[in-house]
Chains A and B, each alone.
Chain A
C-alpha cells in the first residue's frame, strides 16, 4: 500500500471527541471526600478479616473480598515509597508546570500507598524513604486535589 500518496492527494480530518459525564463517586469514596472537604481529615478503612487498611478506602478488601465498614483516621503523615520528577508537559493533563514530582506515599496507619504530588522541596532533593505530610488546600471542593500535595516533614 505504501506509495499511494504519490498518486492521490491525502486528505486529513482533524477531530475531537467531547462527551460530558457525571460520575457518581459512590458510597465509600463520597464519605472519604466529605471527611476530607469538611473536616480536613484523611480517613481509611480496614478489612475485618485480614486487618489491611486501605487509603483511598475501598468497598471490599482486595485479598479477602469482605465488606470494610470500619473507618480509621490517619495522621496525614507518611513515607515516600517511590517518586518521579516529571519533566515533560501535557498542559491539558498536568496540574502544574514541569518539573514537578509524583510520589506513592505509604501513609502512616495504612497498608496501601496513595499516589499524589510532592512539593515544598526542590525536586532533586526528593528521596525514597523521605518522611512527608499532607498539605491540604484552603478551599476544598471534594476532590483528590483537596490534598494540595505532600511536603517533607522538617
Chain B
C-alpha cells in the first residue's frame, strides 16, 4: 500500500475569547502549514475541514471556510467530529488515488457560544436531552464508574491535571499553563462530583492544519527532515446511549488501538511519546489502559508513580494535552501536530529526546463513544 506522510503543520495559539472570526483562524493555521511545508496553495489539490455546525452557529460550515483554507476552485469536504478523524478522511482520499496532497484543517470557537448547551444537543431529543445532560455531567458519570471499577481516587485524577497543566508551561500554544498542586485541584470548585473545575479542560478557541501527501508527492514537495509518516491508524465506535455501555469499559478503544498497532507493525512498548485525549483528568489513565500501556484498572496507579510524566517511562501529553487547551474539533489535530513536532525534534522545551514513534489519540461522542488512534514515525 502507498504510504501517506504529514509534510507540514500549522496552528494558532489556543486561547479563550480570540478576537478573530473562525475563518480568520483557519486562514492563519492554513497559511502557517503552507509556510512550514514550503509550498504554495496551488500545490494543495483538495481540502478536508473539521468543524461542528452547532458550534459555528452556521450550517454547512465547511463552505464558510473554503476560501480561508485554500479550497477555492478545488474540492472540499467535511468531517463533523474530531481532527483525528479528519486526518483519517484526508488519508483515505489520498489512498483512493483521487488526490495527492490534502490540507486537513480544523477550527473551533468555544467561547462564542455555550459548551453545555451545545453538548446537550448531542443527546437523543427523544430521551436523555430533556434531562439536561451535557459533556460535563456525563463525564462525571463515567469518572465515578471508573473510580468504582478501578479503585481510583480523586487525588489520582488530580495528579493528571497537575502533570498536564505543568507540561503546558513548556508549550507556547497552550491555553492554561499552570504550576499547580494536587491541593489546588482538590480545592477547586466541585462542578459535578467527582469532577472539580481543575479536572476539566478550558473552553477555548483556535485552529490547526496539516498537509498530507502521497509518498510520490511527499518526496517531491518535502525534505526528509520535515516528513513524518502515518504508519498506522485504527478507529472504532461503541454504543450511542450511555446506559448501553459500561462507561469504564474501553472495548472500542482497544479495538481501534489493536488495528493501529498491527497496521504500523509495532507494540505499545515501541511508542516513545503519546498525546492522549484528556479533556477530563480521569480520561487519561482510562484511555491509557485501552491503548495497552497498562492493565485495566491500573492507569491511576501508574499515573501516581509518574510513569507518564514528562521524564517518565512514557511521556504522555507533553504538550499539556486537552487539559490545557481543548478547542474541541481541533483537539485531535493538535495531538497529531504535537506528535509531528516531537518526531521532527522541533518541540522546543518539551522535546522528548530521541522520539521515533509517537501515538496520537482522539475521541468523538460523549464519554469517548468512538476513538481514532494514530501511530506516526520518522
Contact = CB atoms under 8 A, between A and B. Distances in A.
A85 B185 CA distance: 18
A84 B125 contact: no
Interface in B113-148: 114, 116-117, 120, 125-128, 130-134, 136-137, 140-145, 148
A114 B194 CA distance: 20
A25 B145 CA distance: 30
Given A88-B192, A128-B148, A4 B19 contact: yes
A95 B132 contact: yes
Contact of B141 (A15, A84, A95): A84
B145 A102 contact: no
Nearest to B243: A113
A62 B241 CA distance: 11
A115 B193 contact: no
A84 B144 CA distance: 7
> For this complex, into which size category does the number of interface residues on chain A fall?
35 or more
A95 B120 CA distance: 13
A50 interface: no
B38 interface: no
B333 interface: no
A82 B367 CA distance: 14
A90 B117 contact: yes
Interface string B145-158: 10010000000000
Contacts of A62: 239, 244
B191 interface: yes
Given A1-B20, A82-B148, A29 B127 contact: yes
Contacts of A103: 141
Given A83-B144, A87-B191, A93-B117, A113 B126 contact: no
A49 B241 CA distance: 21
Contacts of A134: none
A43 interface: no
B241 A102 contact: no
Contacts of A85: 190, 192-193
Q: Which of A94, A104, A112 has the most chain B CB atoms closer than 10 A to its own CB?
A: A104
B316 to A, nearest CB: 25
B141 A104 contact: yes
Given A86-B192, A102-B141, 10 more contacts: A1-B20, A84-B193, A84-B194, A85-B190, A86-B140, A93-B116, A104-B243, A112-B244, A128-B144, A144-B131
Interface of A: 1, 4-5, 10, 15, 17, 21, 23, 25-26, 29, 54-56, 62, 81-88, 90, 92-95, 102-104, 112-117, 128, 143-145
27 contacts: A1-B28, A4-B19, A4-B20, A10-B19, A23-B125, A29-B126, A62-B239, A82-B141, A83-B141, A83-B144, A84-B140, A84-B143, A85-B192, A88-B116, A90-B120, A93-B117, A93-B120, A102-B133, A102-B137, A102-B140, A103-B141, A113-B243, A115-B133, A115-B242, A128-B145, A143-B130, A144-B130
The list of the 9 closest CB pairs from A to B, nearest first, reads A113-B243, A84-B140, A82-B145, A93-B132, A94-B132, A85-B193, A82-B144, A84-B192, A128-B148
